[in-house]
């Protein structure tokens, strides 16, 4: 047995056998916007609203199958999950066309976040096809994200380098960064601005 094999995890963790990052990005959007916690029971009820739940039980990004390219289905499920978590306080709008990193700053504010699918690299992950919640945008052009698999990529058999930081503008927690330094693209049409109505 090589040292690399010994360091490999043998116990499965959330995200290893599912593609539920779309669902988690919605829960992370709820937490970021409300500042509250989404309890286990509430999340179970919200996930019970999901169309085609089997599409999320694969190792691929969870928006393949019936969700692939179906922007109306994605948006409808976003609305229903948020409604189940927090009532009708949320407005969901799809961002049309191609989105770039600088574009995100126009959509993220004290009242809004963006749930978006990206492919490529972040500061802490490579080779991704993944949904995240953008909680803040830095003046340096970085997008601060809440990533549902960051804990998995931070911990090895030897150490765990997981940390959350508060966005200096929004005060929301993030655990990874999308920046021009790490090549990635956003999947066209798969970006949604979520606004909390006060």
Q: Which domain holds residue 47?
A: 14-196
- Asked if residues 130 and 120 have their Cβ atoms less than 8 Å apart, the reply is no
Residue 152 sits in a domain whose CATH number is: 3.90.70.10
Per-residue pLDDT of the chain (198 residues; tens, 9 = 90+): 233 434 566 666 777 778 899 999 999 999 999 999 999 999 999 999 999 998 988 777 778 889 999 999 999 999 999 999 999 999 999 999 999 999 999 999 999 999 999 999 999 999 999 999 999 998 888 999 999 988 877 776 667 888 899 998 899 999 999 999 999 999 999 999 999 998
Alpha-carbon distance of 113 to 110, in angstroms, equals 8
Helix (H) or strand (E) holding 181: none
For the chain, where are the E strands, in sequence order? 90-94, 112-120, 128-137, 143-146, 165-166, 173-174, 176-178, 184-196
Placement of tokens 């990533």 in the chain: 147
pLDDT at 63: 85
In a domain, 6, yes or no: no
Task: Identify whether 2 is part of a domain.
Answer: no
Query: And the tokens for 114?
Result: 């963006």
Q: What does the pLDDT read at residue 162?
A: 85
Residue 49's contacts (CB-CB under 8 Å, 6 or more residues apart) are 77, 80, 81, 83, 84
Would residue 46 count as lying in a domain?
yes
Sheet holding 176-178, edge to edge: 90-94, 184-196, 112-120, 128-137, 143-146, 176-178
Q: Is residue 105 part of a domain?
A: yes
Q: C-alpha distances in angstroms, 128 versus 46, 114, 117, 121? A: 26, 18, 10, 6
- The domain total for the chain is 1
Q: Is residue 5 domain-resident?
A: no
Six token digits for residue 198: 């006060």
Tell me the three state secondary structure of residue 94: strand
Residue 47, in any domain of the structure: yes
| Alpha helices in 66-156, H assignment, sequence order | 71-86, 101-104, 150-154
Task: Please report whether residue 7 resides in a domain.
Answer: no
């Amino acid at each position: 047995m090589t040292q690399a094999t010994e360091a490999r995890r043998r116990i499965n963790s959330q995200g290893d056998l599912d593609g539920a990052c779309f669902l988690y990005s919605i829960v992370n959007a709820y937490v970021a916007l409300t500042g509250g916690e989404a309890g286990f029971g509430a999340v179970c009820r919200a996930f019970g609203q999901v169309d085609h739940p089997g599409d999320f039980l694969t190792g691929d990004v969870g928006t393949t199958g019936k969700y692939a390219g179906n922007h109306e289905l994605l948006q409808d499920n976003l609305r229903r999950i948020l409604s189940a978590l927090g009532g009708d306080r949320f407005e969901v709008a799809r961002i049309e066309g191609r989105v770039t990193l600088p574009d995100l700053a126009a959509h993220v504010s004290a009242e809004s976040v963006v749930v978006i699918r990206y492919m490529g690299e972040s500061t802490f992950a490579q080779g991704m096809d993944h949904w995240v919640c953008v909680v803040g945008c830095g003046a340096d052009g970085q997008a601060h994200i809440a990533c549902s698999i960051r804990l998995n990529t931070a911990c090895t058999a030897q150490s765990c380098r997981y940390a959350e930081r508060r966005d200096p503008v929004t005060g929301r927690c993030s655990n990874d960064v999308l920046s021009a330094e790490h090549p990635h693209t956003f999947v066209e049409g798969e970006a949604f601005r979520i606004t909390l109505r006060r």
